[in-house]
């Protein structure tokens, strides 16, 4: 049985690591996983998690999506340069702490987020897409975000990078059909990782002196104050996202979009209910600024929905397995 060659970006931690391990440990051994990371010095965690699959169904390779030479070298190192499934969990640079008022962020920091989340994706696709077209076979999976379809308070630049990714993939998907290629966007909500903890810690250090008093107060006493509760209520694990992604790549006809955080879907649906776009903005404004108690009660309710959704998903997996 020929294994499908799977190239995954960002595997030193988080979603990328969980995906690499999940596919490498597939009981049917359907995949040969090439788990990549920018800094190979951070490979130890993946090596431990991979266990016996290392060197068998999983290999670790260096890849910096912001470096064209690194991309080419990585793809050239693959047998026949073949990539059957490309999975790209791209995320913002945690060191930059890209949350907060835009007055307090530099253009250089903003460009770094766009370079990784958008242009990094495009550069990697430019190297791999032509071969997929020639074979008329391949599946491109992008780990996007619900923030690719709905902006969130004080996540302006991150949301912009994800909107760019969604627009790019939506345009490319039409062309891909002509070559029998699949493109899928996996849209998680908040994902609980070490990365998110670092982003929060960086947010606490932001110099708010360039922001007006109202904006600074909004960021400190509303956004940061509720940050942890939002993740506790809506957050999912990298393993959960990996399971959703696994389901997508093993489907005969995978969908273009898949929202992996079902409780959050009720909020993103507001965008499609009102063509004018006012409803989601006004709803979020009232929840945050006018109905604080309702907002917090909603988070508790969503936490319950999240728990029920997770258990339902687990039951579905068990049924499919049997």
Catalytic residues: 158
**Strand residues in 114-181 grouped as ranges (E):** 139-143
Per-residue pLDDT for the chain (322 aa), expressed as one digit of tens each? 689 999 999 999 999 999 999 999 999 999 999 999 999 999 999 999 999 999 999 999 999 999 999 999 999 999 999 999 999 986 544 444 489 999 999 999 899 999 989 999 999 999 999 999 999 999 999 999 988 998 989 999 999 999 999 999 999 999 999 999 999 999 998 888 777 778 788 888 899 999 999 999 999 998 888 887 777 667 788 999 999 999 999 999 999 999 988 777 777 888 888 888 898 888 888 877 775 654 555 555 455 545 555 555 444 544 554 4
CA distances from 38 to 14, 64, 92 (A): 14, 5, 14
Q: How far apart are CA 307 and CA 236, in angstroms?
A: 10
**Which residues carry a binding-site annotation for substrate?**
145
**How high is the pLDDT of residue 176?**
97
Residues in binding site: 10-38, 64, 145, 162
Predicted local distance difference test score (pLDDT) of residue 90: 65
Binding-site residues for NADP(+), in ranges, read 10-38, 64, 162
Phi, psi of 250 (to 5 degrees): -100, 5
| pLDDT value of position 315 | 44
| CA 197 to each of CA 7, 222, 285, 300: distance values in angstroms, whole numbers, following the listed order | 27, 17, 25, 21
The structure's pTM equals 0.86
């Amino acid at each position: 049985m020929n294994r499908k060659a799977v190239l995954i970006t960002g595997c030193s931690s988080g979603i990328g690591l969980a995906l690499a391990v999940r596919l490498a440990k597939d009981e049917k051994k359907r995949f040969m996983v090439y788990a990549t990371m920018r800094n190979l010095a951070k490979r130890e965690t993946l090596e431990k998690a991979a266990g016996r699959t290392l060197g068998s169904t999983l290999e670790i390779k260096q890849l910096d999506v912001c470096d064209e030479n690194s991309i080419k070298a990585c793809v050239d190192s693959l047998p026949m340069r073949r990539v059957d499934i490309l999975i790209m969990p791209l995320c913002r640079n945690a060191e930059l702490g890209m949350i907060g008022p835009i007055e307090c962020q530099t253009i250089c920091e903003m460009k770094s987020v766009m370079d990784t989340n958008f242009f990094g994706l495009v550069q990697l696709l430019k190297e791999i897409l032509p071969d997929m077209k020639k074979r008329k076979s391949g599946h491109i999976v992008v780990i996007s975000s619900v923030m690719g379809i709905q902006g969130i308070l004080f996540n302006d630049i991150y949301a912009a990078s994800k909107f760019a990714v969604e627009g790019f993939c939506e345009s490319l998907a039409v062309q891909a059909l002509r070559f029998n290629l699949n493109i899928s966007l996996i849209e998680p909500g908040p994902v609980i990782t070490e990365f998110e903890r670092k982003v929060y810690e960086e947010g606490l250090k932001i110099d708010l002196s360039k922001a007006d008093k109202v904006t600074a107060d909004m960021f400190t006493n509303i956004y940061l104050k509720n940050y942890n509760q939002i993740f506790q209520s809506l957050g999912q694990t990298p393993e959960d996202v990996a399971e959703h992604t696994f389901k997508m790549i093993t489907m005969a006809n995978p969908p273009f979009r898949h929202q992996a955080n079902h409780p959050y879907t009720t909020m993103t649906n507001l965008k499609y209910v009102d063509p004018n776009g006012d409803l989601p903005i006004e709803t979020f404004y009232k929840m945050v600024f006018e109905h604080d108690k309702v907002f917090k009660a909603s988070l508790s309710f969503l936490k319950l929905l999240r728990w029920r959704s997770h258990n339902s998903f687990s039951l579905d997996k068990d049924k499919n397995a049997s």
